Structure 1
Amino acid sequence: MSDDRPGRARSQTTPTPRMGLYRMITPIDHIDGLTIDEHDHNPSETPAGTPRTSLTLVNGVEGGFGQPIGESGIGTKRRIEPVFEEGHETEVGSPDSHDQVLREKLSASQAQRPDQSLSKRETFSRDKEQSKPQSRRQSLTRKITGTLRPSASRLSEDQGQGVSPEERKWKDDIVTFDSKTDPANPKNWSFRRKLLTTGLYGLTTMSSTFASSIFSSAGRYYGEEFGLSTETTVLGVSLFILGYVPGPLIWAPVSEEYGRRFSILGPVFIFACFTAATAVAKDPQTIFVTRFFQGLFASAPVTTVGGGLADMWDQKERGSAVVFYSLAVVAGPTLGPIIGGAAAQSYLGWRWTEWLSLILTCLVLVLDIIFLPETFAAVILTRKAARLRRSTKRWALHSKHEERERDLVKFLENNLTLPLRMIATEPMVTCITLYNSFTYGILYMLFGAIPVIYQDNRGWNSLVGALPFLGVLVGCFIAAAINIAWSTFVFGPHLERNGGRARPEMRLPPMMLGSILFPSGFFLAGWTSNPSIHWFPSVLGFTLIGVSFLLIFQSGLNYLIDSYTKLAASTVASNTFLRSIFAVGLPFAVAPMFRNLGVAWACSTLGFIALVLGAFPFVFYVYGPKLRARSTLIESFD
Structure 2
Amino acid sequence: MPDETVTAAEPGVGTPNVERDIEDEEEKEAEQARDVEKGGVPVATGAEEVSGGKEERDPNMISWDGPDDPLNPQNWSFGQKWAAMGIVSVFTFMSPLSSSMVAPALPQISRDLGITGDPTLSSMTLSIFVLGFAVGPLVLGPLSEIYGRVRVLQLANLFFLIFNIAGGFAQSKGQMMAFRFLSGFGGGGPIALGGGVLGDMFLPEQRGLAQALYSLGPLSGPAIGPMISGFIVQSIDWRWIFWITSIVDGVIQVLGLILLRETYAPKLLGDKVRRLKRETGNDKLYSVYDKHDRSMRAILSRGMVRPFIFLGTEPLCQIIGTYMALMYGVLYLLLTTFAELWVTEYGESSGIAGLNYLAIGAGYTAGSQIGAWLIDATYRRMKVKNNDIGLPEFRIPIILVSAPISVLGLILYGWTAQYKVFWFVPDLGVFIYGMGTLSAWLAIQTYLVDTYTLYAASAIAATALYRSLLGFAFPLFANQMYAAMGQGWANTMLAFITLIIGVPAPLVFLKYGHKLRERSSMARKSRIIR
TM-score range, shorter chain: 0.7 to 0.9
**Equivalent residues in 2 for 1:164-183, closer than 5 Å:** 168=57, 171-183=58-70
> Among residues 136, 139, 162, which one is paired with 1:247 in the alignment?
136
How many Å apart are 1:152 and its aligned residue?
4.8
CA distance in 2 between counterparts of 1:152 and 1:518 reads 55
From 506, 519, 529, the counterpart of 1:630: 519
| Residue equivalent to 2:159 | 270
* Worse-superposed segment, 399-408 or 267-276: 399-408
Q: Structure 1 vs Structure 2: percent identity of aligned residues?
A: 30
Aligned residue for 2:239? 351
Which residue of 2 is the match for residue 330 of structure 1? 219
Partner Cα distance (2:453, 2:470) in 1: 25
Q: Structure 1 residues 498, 195: closer, same or farther in 2, change over 3 A? A: farther
Change (3 A) 1:152 1:248: closer
Using a 3 Å threshold, how does the CA distance of structure 1 residues 488 and 408 change in structure 2: closer, same or farther? closer
Secondary structure, in 3 states, of the residue corresponding to 2:102?
Answer: helix
Q: Which amino acid aligns with 2:174?
A: Q
The residue type equivalent to 1:356 in the other structure is: I
Residues 517-559 of structure 1 deviation map (CA, whole Å, 9 limit, x = unaligned): 1221121111111454212221111111101210121111111
- Whole-Å separation in 2 of the counterparts to 1:327 and 1:375: 21
Moved more, 606-615 or 421-430: 606-615
Residue 26 of structure 2 aligns with which residue?
none
Query: Residues 198 and 321 of structure 1 are in contact (CA less than 8 Å); yes or no, is this contact kept in structure 2?
Result: yes
In the other structure, the counterpart of 2:170 is 281
Q: Which moved more, 1:187-196 or 1:487-496?
A: 487-496
The structure where strand makes up a greater share of residues is: 1
Larger RCO (alpha carbons 8 Å, 6+ apart): 2
1: CA distance, partners of 2:113 / 2:365:
39
TM-score if structure 2 supplies the norm length?
Answer: 0.86
Distance 2:487 2:51 in 1: 76
Q: Tell me, what secondary structure is at the counterpart of 1:533?
A: coil
Q: Hey, what's the Cα distance between the residues in 2 that align with 1:409 and 1:356?
A: 39
State yes or no: 1:225 paired with 2:123: no
- Map 1:426-575; keep pairs closer than 5 Å: 426-496=314-384, 498=386, 501-530=389-418, 532-575=420-463
**Structure with higher helix content:** 2
Q: Deviations over 1:171-214 (max 9, x none)?
A: 11111111110111000111121111111110111111111111
Q: Which amino acid aligns with 1:183?
A: P
Cα contact 2:143–2:300 (8 A) shared by 1? no
Which residue in the other structure is 1:342 paired with? 231
Pair 1:196-2:83 in alignment: yes
Matches within 5 A, 1:297-312: 297-312=186-201
Moved more, 382-391 or 533-542: 533-542
Query: Unpaired runs of 5+ in structure 2?
Result: 1-48
Query: What TM-score, normalized to structure 1?
Result: 0.72
Q: Does 1:612 align with 2:500?
A: yes
| Helix, strand or coil at the partner of 1:597 | helix
Instruction: Structure 1: give runs of 5+ residues left out of the alignment.
Output: 1-150
Q: Aligned partners of 2:360, 2:237: CA distance in 1, in Å?
A: 26
Give the whole-Å Cα distance in 2 for the aligned partners of 1:493 and 1:613: 27
Q: Which has the larger radius of gyration?
A: 1
Tell me if structure 2 keeps the 8 A contact 1:281–1:287. yes
2: distance between equivalents of 1:153 and 1:400? 21
SS in 1 for 2:339: helix
Shift of 1:410: 4.2
Counterpart CA distance in 2 for 1:187 and 1:411 is: 24
In 2 relative to 1, CA 443–468 (structure 1 residues): closer, same or farther, beyond 3 Å?
A: same
Q: 2: distance between equivalents of 1:439 and 1:625?
A: 25
Paired residue for 2:6?
none
Q: Secondary structure at the match of 2:397?
A: helix
Does residue 215 of the first structure (1) align with residue 113 of the second (2)? no
Alpha-carbon distance in structure 2 between the residues aligned to 1:583 and 1:455: 23
Secondary structure of the corresponding residue to residue 509 of structure 1: coil
Question: Using a 3 Å threshold, how does the CA distance of structure 1 residues 532 and 582 change in structure 2: closer, same or farther?
Answer: closer
Q: 1:425 to 1:585 in 2, by over 3 A?
A: same
